[in-house]
Amino acid sequence: MIRVYNKKEIDGIRAACQIVGKALNYLGTLIVPGVTTRKLDRLLETFIRDHGAVPAFKGIKGDAPVPFPASGCFSIDEVVVHGIPSKEELQDGQIIGVDVGTILDGYYGDAARTFPVGEVNFEKQRLMQTAEDSFWKGMEYAKPGNHLSDISHHIQKMVEGRGYSVVRALVGHGIGRKLHEEPSIPNFGAPGMGPKLKNGMALAVEPMINVGRYEVKILPDGWTIVTADKKPSAHYENTIVITDENGPEVLTLVEL
């Protein structure tokens, strides 16, 4: 069942999401060559807890043999999502996808950004920009009365129009009282399909796009997902709430 949230509930989701947005802005100032993702994760957890929330990802159970061990996902270059922090230092020219989730008073927020590490080449810059641009293209169709796949279709159209591929094995999701709720939100597909959008739907929309092919594989740790051809990937995500014909409210976007 797809939940439709009332104003009070949306206020709760928004509060959790604002911490996510602030945390991503904070991490963006810390990502430089030489820093380790393990250090970034420690600082992230402290930031989240200092703001009265709890990391949503830490200890979450999936299909992996062990629960996720960190507060954030740090995915470098060909890692699409779910990268586990380590003591390895970031290198100039890499890109890193950072995915953050919080729980505040029983409500969830979730968002991701892909950041450059130092100076990155034109191809990686364009990849990151396309991931973000495709999210905003999808938002043009995130209005009551449209179908869920209208968002998906226009994300895919932009991404493939720029010569990149859309990951098929991973999708966005509903969010609110749980981290992952219905509906699933692919970043591809024909328009006019799936449920109609209604005021009060809370959705985590997250284009994941690759320089090369769309196929991915899971590493032996059961969490880390990489591009099958080892080419770079970028991830851009926000939690939104469907409001009215003027467009959605993007809950995890916080001004610097």
**pLDDT tens readout for residues 207-251:** 999 999 999 999 999 999 999 999 999 999 999 999 987 889 999
| Per-residue confidence (pLDDT) for residue 62, from 0 to 100 | 83
Residue showing tokens 């250090």? 39
Q: For residue 256, is it within any domain?
A: no
| Per-residue confidence (pLDDT) for residue 70, from 0 to 100 | 98
| Per-residue confidence (pLDDT) for residue 146, from 0 to 100 | 97
| Per-residue confidence (pLDDT) for residue 244, from 0 to 100 | 83
Q: How confident is the model at residue 64 (pLDDT cuts 50, 70, 90)?
A: confident
Q: For residue 194, is it within any domain?
A: yes
- State whether residue 2 is helix, strand or coil: coil
Q: For residue 80, is it within any domain?
A: yes
What does the block give as tokens for 51?
A: 């703001």
Please count the structural domains in the chain: 1
Return the closest-CA partner of residue 144 out of 205, 193, 196, 184.
196
Q: For residue 1, is it within any domain?
A: no
Q: What angle do CA 255, 101, 62 make, to 5 degrees?
A: 155
Q: Is the pLDDT of residue 256 over 80?
A: no
Q: For residue 82, is it within any domain?
A: yes
| Per-residue confidence (pLDDT) for residue 166, from 0 to 100 | 98
Higher pLDDT, 247 or 28: 28
User: For residue 34, with 0-12 CB atoms within 10 Å meaning exposed, 13-18 middle and 19 or more buried, which class applies?
Assistant: exposed
- Domain range spanning residue 80? 7-250
* CATH code for the domain of 55: 3.90.230.10
- Percent of the chain scoring above 90 in pLDDT: 96
Q: For residue 255, is it within any domain?
A: no
Read off the pLDDT of residues 68-106 as tens digits, 9 standing for 90 and up.
999 999 999 999 999 999 999 999 999 999 999 999 999
Read off the pLDDT of residues 185-208 as tens digits, 9 standing for 90 and up.
999 999 999 999 999 999 999 999
Q: For residue 84, is it within any domain?
A: yes
Give pTM, 2 decimals.
Answer: 0.97
Q: For residue 30, is it within any domain?
A: yes
Single-letter residue type at 144: P
